[in-house]
Chain A
C-alpha cells in the first residue's frame, strides 16, 4: 500500500507561470512532510518542509500548502524558471521517522 502518492507523473509549465505539484497521503498519523528535488544523475536534495501544525510554509519562490482534512499537500513554485525542471518527490517520516517517498513528478519548465 502506497502511503504517499503523487498521481501526476509529469507537469509542463511555461517560464514565469506558477507550477503546482500535488501529493496525497493515506496515513493520518503523518505530521511532517518534505519536498525533495532531483536532477538527472544526482541524488534528491531537500527543498522545503511543513509541520502539521501549519497549513503553509513559504521559502522564496517555493510555498508548501497542507490540507490535513483532505490529506493533501501541494508545492507551489512561482515564478517557475527553466532551472526548476527536475523530478520532485513528496515524502513523510513514518512512526519510526523513516522517510516514505512518493513516486515523483517530473516538472518541465519551458521558455
Chain B
C-alpha cells in the first residue's frame, strides 16, 4: 500500500471515447501531479496541483483535462486521444507543492494506469 491509489490499472480506449483516470492519496499531502511515462523517454510532468489549484500545465494538449476536487483526489479526463498517447500515466503526491523548498518535495507515486489508445 503506497498511499497513492490509481484506478483503473489498465485501460483500452478508442480514439472517439471519453474516459477518466482517478487518483486518490491518503497521505495528507498538499500537492498532486500527473506524469506520463513513455518507453525510453524521461518521465514527463503534465499537471501540478497545489492546495487544489492548478499551478502548472506543461503544454499538454487539451484532450487531457485534469480535475482536482479536493486535496485527496485527482482526475485526468481523456477525450479524442491519439494512438501516440498510449503510455503509463502516473499520479504522485508530495507533502509540499512546487516553490516551497525541497524539503517535502519527495513525490510518492501510484502504481499507474497503463493506457492503450486504439
A and B contact pairs by CB, cutoff 8 A, 27 listed: A4-B42, A32-B102, A41-B112, A41-B114, A42-B111, A43-B2, A43-B90, A43-B91, A43-B92, A44-B43, A44-B109, A45-B109, A49-B106, A51-B102, A91-B43, A96-B56, A96-B98, A97-B96, A97-B97, A97-B101, A98-B45, A98-B48, A99-B107, A100-B42, A101-B42, A102-B42, A103-B42
Q: Which of B9, B90, B99, B102 contacts A44 (CB 8 A)?
A: B90
Q: Which residue of A lies closest to B103 (CB)?
A: A32
**Residues of chain B at the chain A interface (Cβ within 8 Å):** 2, 4, 6, 9, 40-43, 45, 48, 56, 90-92, 96-102, 105-112, 114
A2 interface contact, C-beta 8 A: yes
Contact A41 B105 (CB under 8 A): no
Contact B40 A103 (CB under 8 A): yes
Contact B98 A98 (CB under 8 A): yes
Interface residue range, chain A: 20 to 34
A15 interface contact, C-beta 8 A: no
Q: How far is the CA of A101 from the CA of B102 in the complex (A)?
A: 15
Contact B111 A41 (CB under 8 A): yes
Name, among A97, A99, A103, the residue most crowded by chain B CB atoms within 10 Å (CB to CB): A97
Q: How far is the CA of A75 from the CA of B40 in the complex (A)?
A: 20
Q: How far is the CA of A36 from the CA of B112 in the complex (A)?
A: 15
